[in-house]
Amino acid sequence: MLIDLTGKTAIVTGAGRGIGRVIARTLAAEGVTVALLDIRNDLLDEARAEWAKAGHKGLFVKADVRDKASVTAAVAEIHKGLGRIDILVNNAGVAAGARIEALDEAVWDDNFDTNTKGTFLVAQAVAPIMKAQKSGRIINAASFAIIIPSIGSAAYAASKAAVVSFTRVLAGELGPFNVTVNCYSPGMIPTEMNGYAAMPEARQNRLLDTLTLRRWGEPGDVAKLICFLASDLSAYITGAMIDVSGGKFATQIPAVAYE
Ligand SMILES: NC(=O)c1ccc[n+]([C@@H]2O[C@H](COP(=O)([O-])OP(=O)(O)OC[C@H]3O[C@@H](n4cnc5c(N)ncnc54)[C@H](O)[C@@H]3O)[C@@H](O)[C@H]2O)c1
């Protein structure tokens, strides 16, 4: 049994760097024409150069997922350029935070505007296209923070918890149109968002001790899940949240198994 995504089209938001870039790259390597959407032109320029070198087809679109006009224009441009939209990966996200007394209202708003409203706005723009096609896959980035949140992550965890409920409602609304909607929760994947790899060793070990598979996640671990969720093999999975965290806290103290 093979995953076959050849000839499909996708939008990946926040595809300029980090996990999003690897998701876009992995889909492209599987024969998908990917529209990479990001708020930063410099990252899109880097991606464009990478795509040209690899010989991948793609579109590079600057847009701010927090802004409805920007999202509407971007999705219209992508639809015109690609002809159809088979897959939407709502990956763009931010994660700033602080403990409650120090948590700025602006930081709270940015978490909700990017992670929650951004997911809503892009899905809202793409939904009519997928409904008309009578097929589609919407895949939203949640986070392990929706399972067990961290101290200082109130805005981020709450904004991502909302993504899970949003995913389920959208799955219900789009089910009759053969559009599946799922979300996934990465655990700890070193990127510029979190700086795990730059932490002192003792701190890294404390975090790694929470994992059943005692290693940092890799963006490719998420990208492989996305390929499955985007494919025909996942046709009967919708409204689901999939934990891709290496079994974080699958048991109370996973490190015991390593002693
Ligand atoms: N890295 C992890 O361990 C981890 C864990 C759980 C969940 N996640 C989620 O995975 C996703 C990707 O995380 P990452 O670690 O690759 O982050 P990252 O910060 O490396 O990348 C995020 C990308 O989103 C883009 N972006 C930010 N705001 C945007 C906006 N308003 N409009 C368009 N693009 C915007 C950024 O420019 C960047 O390219 C996020 O949703 C994050 O919450 C990551």
The three-point CA angle 37-97-202 to 5° equals: 105
47 lines ligand 1 (CB under 6 A): no
Residue-wise pLDDT for 30-65, tens only, equals 999 999 999 999 999 999 999 999 999 999 999 999
Mean pLDDT to the nearest integer, 225-235: 98
Q: 16 near 47, Cβ under 8 Å?
A: yes
Mean pLDDT of the chain: 98
**Residue 184 falls in the annotated catalytic set:** no
Residue bearing the CA closest to ligand 1, atom 44 = 186
**Coil, helix or strand for 202?**
helix
Dump pLDDT digits (tens) for 138-191.
Answer: 999 999 999 999 999 999 999 999 999 999 999 999 999 999 999 999 999 999
Is 107 close to ligand 1, i.e. is its CB under 6 Å away?
no
Burial class (CB in 10 A: 0-12, 13-18, 19+), 12: buried
CB of 246 closer than 6 angstroms to any ligand 1 atom: no
Which of 60, 112, 191, 215 gets mutated to test ligand 1 (max ligand atoms within 8 A of its CB)? 191
Is residue 66 lining ligand 1, measured as CB closer than 6 Å? yes
To the question of pTM greater than 0.85 for the whole model, the response is yes
Q: What is the pLDDT of residue 148?
A: 97
The domains found in the chain, sorted by start residue, are 9-198+218-248 (3.40.50.720)
Backbone angles phi, psi at 248, to 5 degrees: -60, 125
Closest C-alpha to ligand 1, atom 23: 14
Which residue's CA is the nearest one to ligand 1's atom 7?
143
Least confident of 11-15, 183-187, 191-195: 191-195
Q: Which residue puts its alpha carbon closest to atom 1 of ligand 1?
A: 189
pLDDT at 202: 96
CB atoms within 10 A of CB 235: 11
Phi, psi of 35 (to 5 degrees): -95, 115
